[in-house]
Amino acid sequence: MADTVKLPEDSFKPISADDRAALDSEKIAAPSLTFAQDAWRRLKKNKGAWASLIILAIIFLMAFGSIFVSPHNPNAVNPSYANLPSKIPGININGFNGTLVQAGQRIDAYKQAGASNVHYIMGTDYLGRDLFSRVLYGTRVSLIIALVATLFDLTIGVAYGMFSGWKGGRIDTFMQRVIEIILSIPNLVVIVLLILILKPGMLSIIIAIALTSWTNMARLVRAQTLELKEQEFILAARTLGERPLKIAFKHLLPNLSSVIIINTMFTIPNAIFFEATLSYIGIGISSPQASLGTLLNDGQKNFQFLPYQMWWPALVLSIIMLAFNLLGDGLRDAFDPRTKE
Amino acid sequence: MAKYLAKRIFYLILTLFIVITVTFFLMKLLPGTPLTNQAKLSKSQIALIYEQYGLNKPVWQQYLLYLAGAVKGNFGTSFQFSDQPVSYLISSRIGPSLQIGLQAMVVGVIIGIIIGAFGAMKQNTWVDSTTTVVSILGISIPSFVLAVLLQYYLGLKAGWFPIAEWGGFIYTVLPTLALGAQPLAESARFVRTEMVDVLSSDYIELAKAKGLSKTGVIFHHALRNSLIPLITIVGPLAVNIMTGSMVVENIFSIPGIGEQFVKSVLTNDYPTIMGLTIVYSFMLCVVLLFTDILYGIVDPRIRLTGKAN
C-alpha cells in the first residue's frame, strides 16, 4: 500500500464562472460593516435617540433658517399688538385661539387690539414683538454660543487630555492637578468672574464657557489615551519612527472619536444651560439681542397673567436639553454595545 | 490613611491658595472703581477713601494683606454696603443656603435611590420607563424654570406654600424641590444603571440560589453594592446645587449667599465676589475631600489601589 493520497484530476482545474456564482449563493454572511456603519445601525434602532436627532435637525433648520425666512421681524416693536396670546389658525382650543381671560371673562384679544388679519403662533411680548420669531432668534443665539463654546472645548479638552495621557509621569500628574484645581471652583462662579473681566456680551460668554467646560473632556480623553498608548498598534507606529503628532492624529484620534462625540452631546446642553442661567440672572446677552435665557427672564415677569410668554421659551429650552441628553445616551449605547443590557 | 489624608489636606490648602491668588489678581484687572459718584469727589477725598480701603498701597502689598486676612476669615469690607465686613455678610447669609442645599441634596438623593432601585428591580416594565422619563426630565428642565413653575402652581395657585421670603421650614419646601430635582434625576439614573449591573452578577445569583427572600437580596446585597459608587457623584451634585442656588434663591428671594453673589456681581462689589468665590471653592473642596475619604472607608478596594500607586 503506497502512502499516497490520490486526488481526483479535476480538483486542479480552475472553477468556472458558474461554479463561483453557485458558491456565492451559498454564502449567508451579512455585508461587513465598518465601526461607524455599525454604530449608525444601532443608533437608528434606538427610538428615543432617533427621534431626538430628527427633532434637533428640525430645531437647527428652523433656528438658522429664520435668518432668511422669519414669520415676523424679531426686533420689530409694535406696541398696539402688545401681549397678544398665541393664535394658531384652524385650532380652536383655549390657549391657542387668541383668546385670554380678562377680568373673569374670556375675550378675543386679537379683536380687541384690532389685529384680526394677523396671527402670532406663540403670541407677542410686552413690546408687541412676535414671540415665535424671538424664540427662533433666541434659540439661534443659544445654539451658536453652545456650538462655538463646544468647538473650543473640543480643541482644548482633546489636546490637553491627549498630551497629558501621552506624556504620562510628572507632566501628567501636574496637568491633572491643574484640572482638579479648576474643578474645585463651581463653573458658574468662574464663568461669572470671566464675564465681569471681559464685559458682558456674546463673545465673552462663549470664551467663559469654553475656558471652563473642557475639563471633563480632558479627563475622559486622558483616561482613554492612557489605555490606547499601551496597545500594539501604537507601539508599531512608534517603532516605525512615526512622529508623535502624526500618531495623535492618525492613530489616537480615530480611536478616541466615540468618547469625544458622546461627551460633546453632554457639553452642548451644559453650555446652553449656563448661557440661559447667565442671561436669566442678567449678566448674559443684553437687549435687543435675545437668547432663550433672556426670553425666559422676560416671560417670568409676567408669568401670572401671561403664562404663555414663559411657557414657550421654557418648552423650547427643555426640548433642546432633552433631545441632546437622549441623543447622548443613544450614542453611548451605539458606540459601546457592552453598556446596553 | 493618615499620610493620604495629610496629602489631600495639603492639596486642599494649595488649591485654596491658588483660588485666592487668581481671584485677587483677576479682580485687580476689573474696570471701574468702588466710588459711586466719583465726579463729585475732590482728589483728596478720593485719596482718603482709597486709604480707608487700603487701595493706595502697591498691589503686592494689598495681595499679602488680603492673603493674611483671608487665612483668618477676613475678606475686607464690602463696597456695596459700606462698613459691612464681607465675612459678616457671608456668615449671616450662609445658613439659609446651607439648609436648602443640604435638604435638596438629601431629599433628592434619597428619592432618587428609591426610584432608581425600583426601576432596576422592575427592569423593562412601565415602572422602569417611568424612572427613565423622570430622570431624563429632571436633567433636562433647568432648575430656574422648575422654580418659577413650582412658585406659581404650588405657591400662588394652590396656596400650599409661601411663594417667597424666608421664615420657618415651610418656606424651604419649594426651593428644596426646585434644587432637588437635579440630584434626584442624576442619582435615580445612576442607581438604576449600577443596580442593573449588580443584579446580574454572580453573588446575587448565589444569594437567590441559597433561598434568601427577595427583599433580603435587594436590601442586603444589591442595594448596598449599588450605592457605593453613588458617593462619587456627590461632588458634581454639590456643584449643581451651588450653581442652581444662585438663581433659585433669587426667584424665592431667600437671603442666602447665592442671592448675594448675583447681587454683588450686578453692583460690582468686588470684595464680596472674591469672598464668596473663596467660600464656594472651600465648600466644594471640603465636599470632594469628604467624599473621597468616605469612598475609601466604604470600599476597601480603593485603599488597596491607593497603596499600589
Identify the bridge partners of residue A99 per DSSP, sorted by sequence position. Answer: A108
Measured between CB atoms, which of A186, A282, A314 is closest to B145? A314
Q: What is the pLDDT of residues B11-46, one digit of tens each?
A: 888 888 888 888 888 887 776 666 666 667 777 887
Measured between CB atoms, which of B243, B247, B250 is closest to A186? B243
Q: What is the pLDDT of residue B108?
A: 93
Question: In this structure, what is the dihedral angle of CA atoms A241, A243, A244, A246, given to the nearest 10 degrees?
Answer: -120
Read off the amino acid at residue B110.
Answer: I
Query: Which of the residues in chain A have pLDDT under 50?
Result: 340-341
Contact B175, B99 (CB under 8 A): no
Contact A205, A291 (CB under 8 A): no
Q: What is the pLDDT of residues A27-45, one digit of tens each?
A: 777 777 777 788 888 888 8
- Give this complex's ipTM: 0.81
Nearest CA of chain B to the CA of A205: how many Å?
A: 15
- The residue of chain A nearest to residue B17, with distances taken between CA atoms, is A181
Q: What is the pLDDT of residue A163?
A: 92
Query: Which of the residues in chain B have pLDDT under 50?
Result: 304-309
At A164, which helix (H) or strand (E)? helix A131-167
Q: What is the pLDDT of residue A196?
A: 81
CB contact under 8 A, B243 and A307: no
Strand pairing of A105-108 and A99-102? antiparallel
Q: What is the pLDDT of residues A211-249, one digit of tens each?
A: 888 888 999 999 889 888 888 888 898 899 888 888 888
Which residues of chain A does B265 touch, with a Cβ-Cβ cutoff of 8 Å? Answer: 192, 196, 281, 283
Neighbouring residues of A123: CB distance < 8 A, sequence distance ≥ 6: A83, A84, A85, A86, A87, A131, A306, A308, A309, A312
pTM: 0.82
Q: Quick one: CA dihedral A69, A75, A76, A82, positive or negative? A: positive
B123 contact A CB<8A: yes
Nearest CA of chain B to the CA of A235: how many Å?
A: 24
Pairwise CA distance, residues B271 & B68, whole Å: 15
Residue A247 CB coordination number (10 Å): 20
Nearest CA of chain A to the CA of B31: how many Å?
A: 7
- The residue of chain A nearest to residue B194, with distances taken between CA atoms, is A339
Domain segments of chain B: what residues?
20-71, 86-302
CB contact under 8 A, B247 and A277: yes
Sole residue written with cell 427577595:
B214
Q: What is the pLDDT of residue B306?
A: 46
Q: How far is CA A107 from CA A79, A123, A129, A132, A255, in A?
A: 19, 15, 21, 22, 62
CB interface of B with A, residues 264-283, below 8 Å: 265-266, 268, 273, 276-277, 280-281
Nearest to A95 by CA among A104, A80, A103, A84: A84
Pairwise CA distance, residues B216 & B210, whole Å: 11
Architecture of domain B86-302: Orthogonal Bundle (1.10)
Neighbouring residues of A8: CB distance < 8 A, sequence distance ≥ 6: none
